[in-house]
A and B are shown apart, each in its own frame.
Chain A
């Protein structure tokens, strides 16, 4: 895969926990705690993990919808986190987002035409209202909607159609990267397939790059070029997709893959290899953050925090793949 279009380094986003009458800061939720990522140009990086792992906060931090405490987000040689709001503005056109819930993302009182055209107005795309209307019509056709329906309101569309509207709105400002935050998770299977095919066609035709945030591993396997697995604010494994599914290197990834119930009638069931619940991100465990649930835990894991070690097609944050550990064993 070509050079990355977006590179995230050492990203840290903490949220204060406030207590008492005076709302004193009593601690921090370490939602994102030192994350490095690279989104391949014209490709798809999937960011996967369970609820509360920080994957959504990574997406929001990159877009500066929340302000990270530390780190860099490199795009075209510029660190987006160092820019003032005015300096950031032109970049917002390049980086767009599609959320899980299109009902919440669309203004219910705004006609679909105006929702899609809003970004064009903000970035002065199109010479006037008439030209923008033409562009809205073309975008609606591009995402598989009937352009004659542009004067309608969001509630007059189905869930899948509303997600198409959100995609058209993101495309309206000619972005280069789209953060898809659980963009297909709320949709039924038959509609999911329609939207996945659309995203794939758009990537091929427009050279779009995706940061695809999801909890659904079968979707990841189908569409991602690379996969980053997150657990309690950290990337625990980052690999080429096929390498990850063929030989997951981190016990958490192995547990995640085993938990997905098979759709093959010859091998039914799911295996619960990961026991217990995710600890609170306000007080992540010492040492390896996964050691409290890890089926392969050993003494070193509770005292020392593992770094990322290189493995085939990527890296894994686990002492099991430490070259020295392997030689000891």
Chain B
């Protein structure tokens, strides 16, 4: 089989705290093959966005990557000099964020910003770059692309701004797009448009996507494979149908049951009691043990290892390992 486009091995990203460094990302391993869409799902604070930022070495200080290995197309990302890192960002990996409004420069036109992204990676004339921008705007479904070149971000709607961000991300033809909650700030009709666009781009360009999301509907719309994060760790991974139809980790199963979309009217929603522990106050064994309906003796003290449930499906849970769930 072909080597994966992205290989993350036991990544640990830490932030300092009063009680010493806290691992916000704690031993995450992940592979993405060319053209594959992998979703990283979890609730706020689980470490999914920090995992994504780590891949581009964009962890905001005082946070830092403490250990682990990141390979993109066989290259050791953590060993790259800064000049090579610039080539990596954009040409290999590009990223779009939740808030397109805060990611665009308010005093430059949309066209100027995408032109800049092109000229950063390629020696092309201004005119040629502008023509490319028009083509990119067309590709991401911006109507009247020639007129929109001269629009400032505040003149564009939220959906249009996200399309501009996607155009900018596509400028250097990356092989992997990291999309961090790309539709969370958008209304549902606009979200549907952007999901369709990402789906088409993936099909046309064969681009791999790492989708960061808290929304199982969005994940279901795009992902081939899904990894569920809880308190800094991946606790379950599998194909999209494996995760959505036969989740085994009590956290994944609990999240899916808690969704009103899957509940019957007039019945109580299944709750996950309590809240996610803060990174500084994580339980010593399984991090979900304090909230888990299936917790038994080993869960409080021993961090569970991976249990394979098939060729593509695996989870970290003592109850599953011992056949209790």
Contacts and interface: CB of A to CB of B under 8 A. Distances in A.
Partners in one complex: yes
Interface of A: 50-51, 158, 160-161, 188-194, 196-197, 200, 215-219, 221-223, 241-242, 255-256, 258-266, 268-278
Interface in B186-232: 187-193, 195-196, 199, 214-218, 220-221
A271 B160 CA distance: 18
A196 B269 contact: yes
Most buried by A among B143, B218, B263: B263
B157 interface: yes
Given A50-B188, A218-B261, A265-B245, 12 more contacts: A160-B275, A194-B271, A258-B192, A259-B189, A260-B188, A261-B195, A261-B221, A265-B241, A268-B220, A270-B192, A275-B193, A277-B157
Contact of A190 (B43, B190, B215, B263): B43
A160 to B, nearest CB: 6
B272 interface: yes
B67 interface: no
A265 B244 contact: yes
A265 B275 CA distance: 27
Contacts of B259: 189, 193, 218, 263
A194 B258 CA distance: 9
A189 B261 CA distance: 11
B293 interface: no
A274 B244 contact: no
Contact of A269 (B188, B199, B241): B199
A84 to B, nearest CB: 38
A64 B216 CA distance: 38
B187 A50 contact: yes
A193 B269 contact: yes
18 contacts: A188-B44, A189-B259, A192-B258, A192-B260, A193-B259, A193-B260, A193-B270, A196-B269, A197-B269, A222-B261, A223-B265, A258-B192, A259-B192, A261-B192, A261-B195, A263-B262, A265-B241, A277-B159
B271 A50 contact: no
Contacts of A265: 220, 240-241, 244-245
Given A217-B188, A221-B260, A269-B199, A261 B217 contact: yes
Given A50-B189, A277-B160, A222 B268 contact: no
Contacts of B244: 263-265
A263 B262 CA distance: 8
Interface of B: 43-44, 143, 157, 159-160, 187-193, 195-196, 199, 214-218, 220-221, 240-241, 244-245, 254-256, 258-263, 265, 268-273, 275-276
Given A50-B189, A255-B189, A263 B260 contact: no
A285 to B, nearest CB: 16
Contacts of B241: 265-266
A263 B258 contact: no
Contacts of A266: 241, 245
A278 B189 CA distance: 10
Nearest to A241: B265
A150 to B, nearest CB: 19
Given A188-B44, A218-B261, A223-B260, A272 B192 contact: yes
B189 A274 contact: yes
A43 to B, nearest CB: 12
Contacts of B195: 261, 269-270, 272
A263 B192 contact: no
Nearest to A220: B260
Nearest to B239: A265
Given A256-B188, A261-B192, A193 B159 contact: no
A51 B275 contact: no
B192 A189 contact: no
A215 B275 contact: no
Contacts of A260: 188, 217, 261
A50 B269 CA distance: 25
Contacts of A216: 260
Nearest to B187: A50
A234 to B, nearest CB: 17
Contact of A219 (B157, B160, B199, B260): B260
Contacts of B160: 277
Contacts of A51: 187
A294 B210 CA distance: 33
B187 A200 contact: no
Given A261-B221, A270-B195, A215 B44 contact: no
A262 B254 contact: no
A261 B43 contact: no
Contacts of B254: 190
Nearest to B291: A190
Given A197-B268, A218-B261, A263-B216, A256 B189 contact: yes
Contact of A270 (B159, B191, B263): B191
Nearest to B254: A190
A181 to B, nearest CB: 16
A188 B217 contact: no
Contacts of A274: 189, 192
A275 B234 CA distance: 37
A242 B44 CA distance: 32
B220 A188 contact: no
Contact of B261 (A191, A263, A272): A263
| Best-buried of B143, B157, B191, B269 by chain A (most CB within 10 Å) | B269
A300 B265 CA distance: 38
